[in-house]
Amino acid sequence: MSDLSAEAVDGMFYEVPDDLRRVRAFVTERALALGLPETRVEVLTLAVSELTTNTLQHTGGGGHIRVWVEDGRLVCDVVDQGQSRPFGRSMPGAEAIRGRGLAIVERVCDAVYTTAVPGGTLVRICLNL
């Protein structure tokens, strides 16, 4: 399978807020097809939605999502042109208007990793199957 055809199966690009519905549908369909239990699919969709919304609010140029299974885990990469994200933060207080997205992602996923990549940042989230 060529890289282009693999991309069509396990990845997608997003650029504008109107793409968020497609992002959620893609992640849901892909995760179910890969065997993630339905209750965990909702968790994955929430986490990806938080990350992609963060991309659209704080970076330019949109991003890319890829979803696959590896070593008993569903793995999802979200890559964008933003700067490295600080993880390990506490949940903002109830009075805070913003700032919960990354804290939510860390709490609902089994593992979260981030690394700089050429031109941006990759956030990898993992959920055990």
Q: What is the pLDDT of residue 84?
A: 76
- Around 114, how many Cα atoms within 13 Å sit in the side-chain half-sphere? 15
Q: What is the pLDDT of residue 96?
A: 62
Q: What is the pLDDT of residue 101?
A: 75
**Within a domain: residue 5?**
no
- Give the pairing of strands 120-128 and 111-117: antiparallel
Residue 97, domain CATH? 3.30.565.10
**Within a domain: residue 121?**
yes
**Within a domain: residue 124?**
yes
- Write out the chain's pLDDT in tens, 129 residues: 334 444 456 899 999 999 999 999 999 999 999 999 999 999 999 999 999 998 998 888 899 999 999 999 999 999 999 877 666 766 666 666 666 778 888 889 999 999 999 989 999 999 999
Q: Which domain holds residue 64?
A: 16-128
**Within a domain: residue 4?**
no
Q: What is the pLDDT of residue 2?
A: 39
Q: Which residue from 107, 77, 80, 82 is spatially nearest to 92, judged by alpha carbons?
A: 107
Gyration radius of the chain over CA positions: 14
